[in-house]
Amino acid sequence: MTKTEETKLTPRLFLNKVLAGTAQGTIIALIPNAVLGAILKYFSQYDIIQMIIHAGLIFQLATPLIIGALIAHQFGLSPAKMMIAGGAAFAGSGVIKFNTEVSSYVGAGTGDIINIMITASVAVLMMLYIGSKFGSVEIIAMPIVVGIGAGLIGMLTYPFVTQITVAIGKLINNFTDFQPIVMSILIACSFAALIISPITTVGIGLAIGLNGVSAGAAAMGIAATTIVLVINSWKINESGVTLAIALGGMKMMMPNLFKYPIILVPVLFTAVISAIPVALLNVSGTPQSAGFGLVGLVGPLASLDSGLNIFLLIICWFLVPIAAGLLSKFIFEKVLKLYDSKVVFAYQG
């Protein structure tokens, strides 16, 4: 990045770059396991298939590394500095923890995305400030000062940042005390919004143990968001973007949410309509399915396993959300003219 470009780096532009890198990194890191894991689990009795599944899970562990590097890329940093930012984000993400029971480091999940963004941002700011001050020893000094320094900051902030997810989880857990239809609507709307935020819906579903209808409502909220994004992206974005969203890359639209929060209007409207059959027809799920929605058909298959027949499954998971999504587009864009989908749903990554 040139000196002229640095002086133009406003807080808003900085945030947009961080969000764009996070959106790109999330889709690259999570799509392989989301797609392959859902399909190949039915053939896991074969050793080679099991190896592919394991490869997808291991690749997913690199989520912080990929996001950190792509955030750095947004700022025009060199490949070496991109990897330093990625390494720092990986260290501070919480994806690798020391397990005292086995005296070994254990990797699981994707890490806390908010903390990944914070750690990578710190690393980028440090490198922009340092510039070329290290001279000929940069290749040695930069990984130590920035990689370990920013990584350590991420490790220190991690316990506090994760409390954001815990607090949201506790709030959503309170919704389970309401009457079934109200509960389904509130949970569906919560997960519909969270899936296009830096918060991990899978982590929340597991943390608070959503089960039965509450898990079904959570998954339905995510499904509603997926369908709204696909409907509005279909003729606006490249086919690859729309396909990625359909396969589970809803977080690609994080920059859009921050820039145009109006996109929550059709999302929440569709989530409300889609949540009603969940309560009426007892569409259920598990803590594992709550955070996935239509990704890999995890949500629909969980409700099928819980006793929902295939006819009602098609109605609840596809016909109702699609009809609600199309209706939301007609009402809010065509009639009320609250937004122009060509602007607010155009991929910002």
Determine the straight-line distance between the first and last CA of the chain, rounded to whole angstroms. 19
- pLDDT reading at 141 higher than 90: yes
Tokens found for residue 172: 């959503």
Half-sphere exposure of residue 334: CA atoms within 13 angstroms, side-chain side: 7
The residues, ordered by sequence, that sit 6+ positions from 106 with a Cβ below 8 Å of its Cβ are 96, 97, 98, 99
pTM of the model: 0.82
pLDDT of 73 strictly over 80: yes
Confidence of residue 2 (pLDDT cuts 50, 70, 90): very low
Segment 302-319, tens digit of pLDDT? 899 889 999 999 999 999
Residues of 292-315 as b/e, b for ≥16 C-beta within 10 angstroms?
bbbbbbbbbbbbbebebeeebbee
Is 60 exceeded by the pLDDT of residue 3?
Answer: no
DSSP state of 104: E
Tens digits of per-residue pLDDT, 24-40? 888 888 888 877 876 78
Q: What is the mean pLDDT of the chain?
A: 90
In angstroms, the CA 18 to CA 221 distance is 26
pLDDT band at 336 (very low <50, low <70, confident <90, very high): very high
Bigger pLDDT: 211 vs 157: 157
Task: Report CA 148 to chain centroid distance, whole Å.
Answer: 26
Give the DSSP H/E element, type plus range, for residue 106.
strand 104-107
Give dist(CA 71, CA 288) in Å, integer: 29
Q: Once rounded to an integer, what is the mean pLDDT over residues 228-257? A: 90
pLDDT of residue 349: 67
Which stretch of 102-116, 189-203, 304-318, 320-334 has the lowest confidence by average pLDDT? 102-116
- CB of 151 within 8 A of CB of 84? no
If DSSP codes are grouped into helix, strand and coil, which group holds residue 1?
A: coil
Nearest to 214 by CA among 307, 271, 283: 283
Ramachandran sector of residue 210 (left: φ over 0; alpha: ψ -120 to 50; beta: rest): beta
Sole residue written with tokens 């920013």 = 150
pLDDT digits (tens, 9 = 90+) for 188-221: 999 999 999 888 887 788 778 888 999 999 999 9
**166 and 85 in contact (C-beta within 8 Å)?**
no
Task: With beta carbons less than 8 A apart as the criterion, state whether 243 and 34 touch.
Answer: no
The helix, strand and coil proportions of the chain, stated in percent and rounded to the nearest 5, come to 75, 5, 20
Say if CB 343 and CB 262 are below 8 A apart.
Answer: no
Percent of the chain with pLDDT over 90: 59
Q: Please compute the mean of the pLDDT values over residues 257-282 and round it to a whole number.
A: 95
Q: Residue 4: pLDDT above 70?
A: no
Phi-psi label, residue 222: left if phi above 0, alpha if psi -120 to 50, beta otherwise: alpha
Task: Give the C-alpha separation, 164 to 161, whole Å.
Answer: 6
Label residue 131 exposed, middle or buried (CB < 10 Å: 0-12, 13-18, 19+).
Answer: exposed
Collapsed DSSP state (helix, strand, coil) of residue 262: helix
pLDDT of residue 262: 96
Residues 192 and 345: their CA atoms lie apart, in Å, by: 16
Chain Cα centroid distance, residue 56? 17
Phi/psi region, residue 200 (left: phi>0; alpha: psi -120 to 50; beta: rest), is beta
Q: What value does the mean pLDDT take over residues 114-127?
A: 95
Residue type present at position 120: A
Using the predicted structure, report yes or no on whether residue 1 has a pLDDT greater than 70.
Answer: no
Residue 285 pLDDT exceeds 80? yes
Counting every residue written for the chain, the total comes to 349
What is the predicted pLDDT for the residue at 324? 97
Confidence category of residue 289, pLDDT binned at 50, 70, 90:
confident
Asked whether the beta carbons of 211 and 219 are under 8 A apart, the reply is no
